[in-house]
Amino acid sequence: MILLSYFEPETNNWRECTFAQLPTNLPAEARLWINLNNASQEEQLQIMQRFAIGPTLAEDFSRERHPPKMEAQTDFTLLIMRGYADADFSEYNSSAQVNLLYSKQVLISKIQCHNPVLLKQLEPQITAGKNSNIADWIKQLIFVVSGSYLEKLINFEDEQSELEDVMLHRGNDEHMARIMRYRSVLRKINRNLAYQKDIFSDAVYEEQSPLLRHFNSTEIRDFYEKFERLHSMTDMYYDQLSDLVEGYLSTTSHQINERMKVLTIVSTIFIPLTFIAGIYGMNFINMPELQMMNGYFIVLIAMATGGIAGLTWFKIRGWW
């Protein structure tokens, strides 16, 4: 189903209309928002043909999943972005896919988002009785997409601090699994942010960037700085979580080494004692010490002396 919101310069107001009710040529002051969130492939194709959208742009726009990108033709610019739609970084269901085709008068949007609150924010804000600038709508959507990451990243800072304290004092495998989930989510959103940062980074330095049709260089740099900051924050959090993993593994390895050292010391002490016990456990008739009256006690004293001497040697050498 196609949803159209049309601003009529004659009545100076917005109204919902059908595709057939649109004028063939839009007046200069007219504005049009076409919502294709629930449109079929045939309806999307109809819109693409109506506004003479090139096949490459039409194909990329119609995809439900596409990496963030920006491309332009004569009148229309394609901008694909991804927002973060989950409540936090404990799980990652899917991104909010924001596909936009826009010109000076027309905005065509297709947004896939499982978060109803974010979906509502990603819709252009229409004010009754007031004409809207398409560039302002695009700016609003860019800020909403960047904000969907920023709020979660700021909240995650406190959670990561708690994780650091927990891992320092009583870390366990459950906390490790939690960290690994966070790292997986951060790695995925980092890719999305890298794509979007590059879109605006290229626009900052390209004199022919499609964004310059609607925004000045200061606004484009503002977009770039927002996504560059988000990308840097995800890099930083990912590195810090990696440090926690490495620290936990190092601590665990050290604890295992300490236990192995104790076991090695015990084994080293008891191996010669076991050797002596093994010799005198043999049942040969002609063993010379079998007839000694105090042989049993002499062997026990020798074994105790050997064990104490071994422990003393380890202590002197600093091995224990």
| Tokens of residue 196, six digits | 């979007």
For residue 320, pLDDT beyond 90: no
What's the count of helices (H) and strands (E) in the chain, helices before strands? Answer: 7, 7
Residue 37 CA to residue 98 CA, distance in Å, equals 10
Higher pLDDT, 95 or 257: 95
Tokens 């033709």 label which residue?
Answer: 73
Mean pLDDT of the chain: 84
Delineate the domains of the chain, giving CATH numbers in brackets: 3-251 (3.30.460.20), 261-317 (1.20.58.340)
**pLDDT tens-digit series, residues 174-211:** 888 888 889 899 999 999 999 999 888 888 777 677 77
